[in-house]
Structure 1
Amino acid sequence: MKIIAFEVRSDEMADFEIMNNSNNFEITYYKEYLCQKNLSLLNGYDGIAFLGESKINHEILDAIAKAGIGVIATRTIGYDHIDIEYAKELGIKVCNSSYGPEGVADFTVMLMLLSLRHYKKALWLGQVNDYSLQGLEGREMKDLTIGIMGTGRIGQAVLKNLSGFGARLLAYDIHQNETAKIYATYVDLEQFYQECDIISLHMPYLKSTHHLINDQTISKMKDGIIIINCARGQLCNTESLIRGIENKKIGALGLDVVEGEEGIYHQDMRTDIIKNKNMAYLRQFPNVVMTQHLAFYTDAAVSSMVQLSLNGLWACYNDLDWDNELTKDL
């Protein structure tokens, strides 16, 4: 099977080569993302693999179909960069990848601890040789109520991680999960907002979850609420987060994702102007920790993302059932 792979990073090459040396694949690699400018590269291939910078819209899908390619795969869990419904109309099979939830779950707890212990402020002070303790008094998890919004695989892993800290754990999800109930108590959304000291987001980005965290929902939360987002930036209205920080309703933010991060995160922007003004403004607060969408980024996750996406292409190409196919009828 001849595959063309876009957005290939150096850290992925070892796993790509393992797959390329098998009998199933002949892979061509490109560092750039798939876009209108390089559609001519598609001719002669059976499948395409890509990451999130490739926006698989109507125009790109039409070109894929014209090239006679019937299977594509994103090496990510999220797939909001792909028009799934239009792909189905064209008869193009789409699959995503997967990886263990532990990496994101560990990172989530780290952001909670960094927020609780004023790490960013302590780091800034230390860099100018100010080793005083003023303004650095933290809180202990055992005294807090922590809420997990979205109890899928990652949300469950976060709950498991937190179970050893002695915190009171609450959960909210429209679909309750028996494993999550081992660690947390499900409550309605109003109680969830009112009682949590920390809220961590772990749901997918859908029309129904767009700007779930906004002025209205923040107003229902405790004063000094800590909000953690390792899911999708679009779950939060960034302007609402800024207002919450400025009026001290929000005590701290731990954000691995932010609305409008596309074209900025995972790029070297040292000599460029950051055009996302809200993002640039938000990151300067001492109680806001922002990382460049790297919670997923572990050696185990990279291997899984490459191997599962390619295996998904193979399965879909050969009309085999594949759990991660996004276009099959349920």
Structure 2
Amino acid sequence: MKIAFFSTQLYDKTSFDHTNAAYGFELVYNDMPLDEQTAQLIRPGTDAVCVFVNDKISDKVIAVLAEKGVKIIALRCAGFNNVNIEAAKNAGIQVCRVPSYSPEAVAEHAVAMILTLNRKTHKAYSRVREQNFSLNGLMGFNLHGKTIGVVGTGNIGKAFCRIMLGFGCRVVAFDLVANKEMEALGVEYLPLIEVLKADIISLHCPLNEQTHHLINAYTLDMMKKGTMLINTSRGGLIDTRAVIGALKTGQLSYLGIDVYEQEEKLFFRDLSGSIITDDDIQRLMSFPNVLITAHQAFFTAEALSQIAITTLNNVQQLIKNGKLDTQAALLV
């Protein structure tokens, strides 16, 4: 049984090769993203393709996959907004994902971004390296007692809530359904308009038609002046130009993003010798109160191991049984 990987990094190969010892698949790695052209690289006899967050699995790509005899699209991530699910269903191709790999990894990264923006440890590190021990411009604030707004309390959102409760914060959340476990721990579920009034807002909801540009000029105006906004979920949740405007006026005092709406042209690549033509990301990088990381929130040894195990297990079960033990992982 053969699996063709796309958007492959060295760490993907290391993790999947190690895990595959227990499965015995033939793994074919491609470092290019999957699109209509690169789909032509798929060799005969390929049972599945394994893709990541920035591969665009459109109806045209799915048509090529169907022609090639591919039976499974295996996402090695939780989000699936980049796949045309209806087209896959019509083509008879099953789609599976990794619904939960290490929610703590992403939640902890969100907290790291909060602490870095607040206490300016990245700036302090650079200063001390240059023998500058001044504290001017490094003042932060106590997290203890602050109100943290959480949008989305799935596995990652729940892990984030637990951490912030441990800091002694008041945690308020918005979700379609209140989670009783979180309420028992002290999380208050409120309407979105109230959650957006928190001191710090962290996004942990999926990207879909309802949440696209959830943070826009209108919702930014609902926030208190000086808010900190953190996004470790999906770039499309934020209207980038509206956020730039809010940073310029001071409506937002801090922005931490691990995802970006146009990241497929930038992230997971070394562009240090290139000219970046994306004016929006260049503008964001120019702000001293903005912290950008390149979709690394998931990037822990534990998460990579679980992603590989779940992905290969999904493919094995679908090929042998046509279904999965964990239905949350099966999309089609």
Shorter-chain TM-score category? over 0.9
Instruction: Give the conservation status (yes or no) of the 8 Å contact 1:160–1:183.
Output: no
Pick closer, same or farther for the CA change 1:128–1:243 going to 2, 3 Å.
Answer: farther
1:167 Cα deviation after fit = 1.1
- 1:214 aligns to 2:216 (yes or no): yes
Pick closer, same or farther for the CA change 1:215–1:129 going to 2, 3 Å.
Answer: farther
Pick closer, same or farther for the CA change 1:219–1:225 going to 2, 3 Å.
Answer: same
Instruction: Give the conservation status (yes or no) of the 8 Å contact 1:3–1:26.
Output: yes
Name the SS of the counterpart of 2:13 in structure 1.
helix
Instruction: Using the TM superposition, name which of 115-124 and 78-87 deviates more.
Output: 115-124
- 1:238 aligns to 2:240 (yes or no): yes
Give the Cα–Cα distance (whole angstroms) in 2 for the partners of residues 168 and 20 of structure 1: 44
Partner of 1:158: 160
Give the Cα–Cα distance (whole angstroms) in 1 for the partners of residues 194 and 188 of structure 2: 11
Partner of 2:85: 84
Give the Cα–Cα distance (whole angstroms) in 1 for the partners of residues 158 and 168 of structure 2: 16
Name the SS of the counterpart of 1:274 in structure 2.
coil
- 1:110 aligns to 2:115 (yes or no): no
1:136 Cα deviation after fit = 1.8
Corresponding residue to 2:251 among 249, 252, 277? 249
1:312 Cα deviation after fit = 1.0
1:216 Cα deviation after fit = 1.1
Give the Cα–Cα distance (whole angstroms) in 1 for the partners of residues 224 and 15 of structure 2: 46
Instruction: Give the conservation status (yes or no) of the 8 Å contact 1:6–1:49.
Output: yes
Pick closer, same or farther for the CA change 1:36–1:188 going to 2, 3 Å.
Answer: closer
Give the Cα–Cα distance (whole angstroms) in 1 for the partners of residues 307 and 190 of structure 2: 34
Instruction: Give the conservation status (yes or no) of the 8 Å contact 1:151–1:171.
Output: yes
Q: Percent identity?
A: 34
Instruction: Using the TM superposition, name which of 89-98 and 24-33 deviates more.
Output: 24-33
- 1:8 aligns to 2:12 (yes or no): no
Pick closer, same or farther for the CA change 1:88–1:240 going to 2, 3 Å.
Answer: same
Give deviations 1:185-228, integer Å, cap 9, x for gaps. Answer: 1111222223x100000000011111111111111111110001
Give the Cα–Cα distance (whole angstroms) in 2 for the partners of residues 317 and 232 of structure 1: 30
Partner of 1:321: 324
Instruction: Give the conservation status (yes or no) of the 8 Å contact 2:74–2:311.
Output: yes
Pick closer, same or farther for the CA change 1:2–1:121 going to 2, 3 Å.
Answer: closer
Letter of the structure 2 residue corresponding to residue 58 of structure 1: D
Instruction: Give the conservation status (yes or no) of the 8 Å contact 2:13–2:29.
Output: no
Q: Which has the higher contact order (CA 8 A, sep 6+)?
A: 1
Cα RMSD (Å) of the superposition?
Answer: 1.8
Give the Cα–Cα distance (whole angstroms) in 2 for the partners of residues 118 and 52 of structure 1: 30
- 1:36 aligns to 2:13 (yes or no): no
Instruction: Give the conservation status (yes or no) of the 8 Å contact 2:97–2:331.
Output: no
Partner of 2:140: 138
1:6 Cα deviation after fit = 2.4
Uncovered stretches (5+) of structure 2, i.e. residues with no partner: none
Instruction: Using the TM superposition, name which of 101-110 and 127-136 deviates more.
Output: 127-136
Instruction: Using the TM superposition, name which of 257-266 and 41-50 deviates more.
Output: 41-50
Letter of the structure 2 residue corresponding to residue 272 of structure 1: S
Letter of the structure 2 residue corresponding to residue 74 of structure 1: L
TM-score, L = length of structure 1: 0.93
Size of the aligned set, in residue pairs, is: 327
Letter of the structure 1 residue corresponding to residue 43 of structure 2: L
Corresponding residue to 1:199 among 198, 201, 205? 201
Give the Cα–Cα distance (whole angstroms) in 1 for the partners of residues 134 and 105 of structure 2: 33
Partner of 1:69: 70
Letter of the structure 2 residue corresponding to residue 70 of structure 1: K
Letter of the structure 2 residue corresponding to residue 6 of structure 1: F
Give the Cα–Cα distance (whole angstroms) in 1 for the partners of residues 19 and 129 of structure 2: 45
Uncovered stretches (5+) of structure 1, i.e. residues with no partner: none
Give the Cα–Cα distance (whole angstroms) in 1 for the partners of residues 19 and 117 of structure 2: 41
Give deviations 1:11-52, integer Å, cap 9, x for gaps. Answer: 233432244434552222233332333314232211111223
Instruction: Give the conservation status (yes or no) of the 8 Å contact 1:312–1:324.
Output: no
Letter of the structure 2 residue corresponding to residue 78 of structure 1: G
1:149 Cα deviation after fit = 0.9
1:130 Cα deviation after fit = 3.5
Corresponding residue to 2:121 among 109, 119, 122? 119
Pick closer, same or farther for the CA change 1:147–1:257 going to 2, 3 Å.
Answer: same
Instruction: Using the TM superposition, name which of 317-326 and 81-90 deviates more.
Output: 317-326
Partner of 2:21: 21
Instruction: Give the conservation status (yes or no) of the 8 Å contact 1:15–1:307.
Output: no
Pick closer, same or farther for the CA change 1:130–1:83 going to 2, 3 Å.
Answer: same
Name the SS of the counterpart of 1:191 in structure 2.
helix
- 1:190 aligns to 2:210 (yes or no): no
Give deviations 1:167-190, integer Å, cap 9, x for gaps. Answer: 111111112111221231111122
Partner of 2:297: 295
Give the Cα–Cα distance (whole angstroms) in 1 for the partners of residues 254 and 148 of structure 2: 14
